[in-house]
Chains A and B, each alone.
Chain A
Amino acid sequence: MSATIARRRATRQAGVYVAAAALAVFVLGPIFWLVTTSLKPRSEVFASPPKFLPTELTFANYADVLTPDTLQFFANSVIVCLGTTVMCLAFSLLACFTLTRTGTRGRKPILVGVLVSQLLPQAVLLVPLYRAADTLGLLNSRFGLMVAFMTFTLPVAIWLLRGFLMAIPLELEEAARLDGLSEFGAYWRVIVPLAKPGVAAVGIYVFFMAWQDFMYSLVFLTDASKRTLPLGVLALIGSHTIEWGQLMAVSALLLVPILLVFTFAQRYFIAGLTAGAVKG
């Protein structure tokens, strides 16, 4: 009897491991390929049969791409994405005050509107946004790009934040108001600090939505000195040759901040994403 149960449990566990392994191959495989390719000499990139591990490690690709230009692109990316994150958090926190904590009329339609705007494919908004930015003189400026990024990050941020903020008991806000804070004061000094893991999670999410953008950067930025890193990748795709090793090296650089942030903030991120589920 217990032997069957034990065997069944072992079978189930084996199944879980197989599934996890398959998932890992699927998710990590491309990243593995990217990193190894970036470390291969050019001769091995197209070797047949393919070499999964480079026989000879080289950092030549990195040395080739780490030019002042690339560093400038990298800095541009960081500036634009941080700027987007800060502005996006500020606006979404303000929006969520009205949307979660006050009895403002018309909250439902606003929320639905925000959701719908987020459902539109980004490409659809590109032309109107371009024209608007042109009129406002925001083309070819990092600030303009931040504003453009907000068109798709802000709706997501509002919806995610709203969930985190709504999970915080209303009584805490009421207690704060009786303790001497205004409605907004209670929100800003008690509710938002309590939602910190959620705010951090949303901030990280927004940062990476902006980080991986290619299309808006391509359309909005013309000046080479303002380009973001994903556009730097484009420069390596020539009309005749593609420098795969270098391409992969730049891509690996794009991954660095992601890995850094997740290593240091993953506990925050996971706490944030599960905060709504557990009540303290």
Chain B
Amino acid sequence: MASVSYRGAERLYPGGDRPAVADLNLEVEDGEFMVLVGPSGCGKSTSLRMLAGLEEVTGGRILIGDHDVTDVPPKERDIAMVFQNYALYPHMNVADNMAFALKLAGVGKEERMARVREAAKLLDLEPYLERKPKALSGGQRQRVAMGRAIVRHPQVFCMDEPLSNLDAKLRVSTRTQIAALQQRLGITTLYVTHDQVEAMTMGDRVAVMKDGVLQQVDSPLRLYERPTNVFVAGFIGSPAMNLLSAKPGDGGVVIDNHLLPVDRATASKIDGDVTVGIRPEAWRMVSESEGGLPVRVTVVEELGADAYVYGQCDLDGVPGQVVIRAAAGRVPHKGETVHVTSDPDRVHVFDGGSGRRLST
């Protein structure tokens, strides 16, 4: 078991003008479940593959424990990887797939079989040990891929979107299984996904990337409550945070003539235009006379306990989209105009130019 550290790690593909992963600094603690998340092409897989040794590191170092593995071949890194398409050996049955690494490592047959059986039991794979991968369902293949990783008792697990080939329902149940399994085994894990719900529900901590640059590393809750910039604010959370441009005002920010109060410390940092972020559940519906932002309701998504209300507002002549979470019984109708405001401690303020967080 071991920690993982990226120290200014960089991957520049030959012929590329910009690194796919730039100056990555990330510390993953021993036994931690770290999720790398970000939009497609942001460099998540590349970062993971650099750790596994499948991708050359063109700058910086990568350490496992206190061992610098930057120039160590993959087979000596003691990392097990679960691939998106599982990469099971089609010519071997399930048991041999799982035992292959152990066999190469010179583990005796008895011990090999014992470990395979143990993993198979853990993953409900016992009836399938003799089958070839092509005779398994997608979910079973996924479990074999997991089994192949866990029989090795490696230092680190790397998983690259291991759930993306499963249907929605299976994905949700497998997600909890993997998280529980990881906790039980206590093996340091790096998990790549582009699905922020997966990231939030599985990770001890989540690293958000964009364009090859790490944006923020934090616990899921901290990411949700204190996004460090506009990108993270908009990426984490579903439906996404409302991001509206605003001007500085007296004791707050002004969105299309409506003053939204912010706390004093934040207000003192504002200079120039800002972007205001408000989560759907942070809106408060008020009467017209209280001076909220008018929003014309266009779509109502009833979820039973509450509802998401989608509407349009006017931002100095430019139409803006707003999502509001409304409690059951207080759900407005389509076509109605509601007035909304928020509270100082629930308003995120970001610099209009750099997108950096200004709120404390």
Contacts and interface: CB of A to CB of B under 8 A. Distances in A.
A182 B72 CA distance: 12
B249 interface: no
B79 interface: yes
A180 B105 contact: yes
Contacts, number: 55
Q: How large is the interface on B (under 10, 10 to 19, 20 to 34, 35 or more residues)?
A: 20 to 34
Interface in A204-252: none
A226 B295 CA distance: 95
Contact of B85 (A169, A177, A179): A169
A64 interface: no
Nearest to B101: A179
Contacts of A177: 53-54, 73-75
B83 A175 contact: yes
Interface string B79-90: 111010101011
Nearest to A190: B89
A180 B103 CA distance: 9
B104 A179 contact: yes
A174 to B, nearest CB: 5
Nearest to B134: A280
A255 interface: no
B104 A194 contact: no
Contact of B104 (A172, A180, A193): A180
Interface in A131-158: none
Interface in B64-99: 73-75, 77, 79-81, 83, 85, 87, 89-91
A279 to B, nearest CB: 10
A177 B101 CA distance: 9
A182 B87 contact: no
Nearest to A175: B87
Given A180-B101, A180-B104, A175 B75 contact: no
A174 B73 CA distance: 11
B85 A175 contact: no
Contacts of A182: 73, 75
Contacts of B105: 180
Given A175-B81, A177-B73, A280-B90, 10 more contacts: A169-B85, A174-B54, A174-B81, A178-B81, A178-B101, A179-B104, A181-B75, A182-B73, A193-B91, A280-B134
5 contacts: A169-B85, A176-B89, A177-B53, A178-B53, A178-B80
